[in-house]
Amino acid sequence: MSTAFSDEEISAVKTRYPGLKRTGSGTVEGTLEMDAVYDGKPLKDSFQVRITATNPNSSRVPALYEIGGRTEVIAEKLGLTDLRTLHRNKDGTVCVCVKQIEKRKFPPSSDLFVFVEELAVPYLYGLVHYEHHRIWPWGDYSHGSMGLLEFYAEDTTPQTVEDIAEVLPSMRKDLNWKEYHKQLRKPSAERSCLCGSGKPFRVCHKKAWQGLLHLRSEMLRLGLDFSSLFDGIKK
């Protein structure tokens, strides 16, 4: 991923979103006039955003920040105490999609326009939808590592070593990574859930439990070594 946006990228984005301006070599900022349709339902809205070429949470996609205070207003209106429910990270970035989808939505050499159209606008659409209906318009994954596991419960596309090597570092950042590691080595449906609720894993976060089993079977098929997961992925 480049750390700067090219002039061509900026002008392509400004053609459709004239309220966005370059404020640094790798930063655009301003008003994004959203006018999107999903599943036959049009939504129009306006957001103050910042998009940066570098992303603290991804080496693949740019970072999106909603900087107009809208996320906080929605959280307050809905009585949400944790902004992560709206997929806002502590560092202010938002999770525009689950890690495993990044490559599909934003293939290598994608430009800023692709990011805005395929990831930023859909996220903002989802946010407004959530504000009105308390549900994301498409399936939702839990925030963070649990969501990465839930993904594997539904998507059973054969994984490559590279796919898994891209996902595990994010999982390793989880405070509860030791438990993830234990579960990957020797799964137990009855051990307390990875979310820390104390309930059995298979009862509390059923989809994540199923996803863990699928991820594990893929890792076994690929011959990945579970004992070295702490250091990095090795064959």
One-letter identity of residue 39: D
Which x/- pattern over 155-194 shows residues binding Zn ion (rule: CB under 5 A)? --------------------------------------x-
Instruction: Note whether 80 binds Zn ion by CB under 5 A.
Output: no
Residue 150 C-beta: closest distance to Zn ion, Å = 11
User: Taking CB under 5 A as the criterion, which residues in 187-226 touch Zn ion?
Assistant: 193, 195, 197, 204-205
Nearest to 144 by CA among 187, 81, 87, 92: 87
Residue 214 C-beta: closest distance to Zn ion, Å = 18
Lateral strand order in the sheet of 27-38: 20-24, 27-38, 41-52, 63-66
Looking at beta carbons only, is 46 or 197 nearer to Zn ion? 197
Residue 159 C-beta: closest distance to Zn ion, Å = 24
Looking at beta carbons only, is 65 or 209 nearer to Zn ion? 209
Looking at beta carbons only, is 83 or 204 nearer to Zn ion? 204
Residues 34 and 44: beta-carbon distance below 8 Å: yes
Looking at beta carbons only, is 205 or 216 nearer to Zn ion? 205
CB atoms < 10 A from the CB of 154, how many? Answer: 12
Residues in Cβ contact with 220 at an 8 Å cutoff, skipping those fewer than 6 apart: none
Residues in Cβ contact with 25 at an 8 Å cutoff, skipping those fewer than 6 apart: 3, 4, 5, 53
Task: Give me the residues that bind Zn ion (CB under 5 A), please.
Answer: 193, 195, 197, 204-205
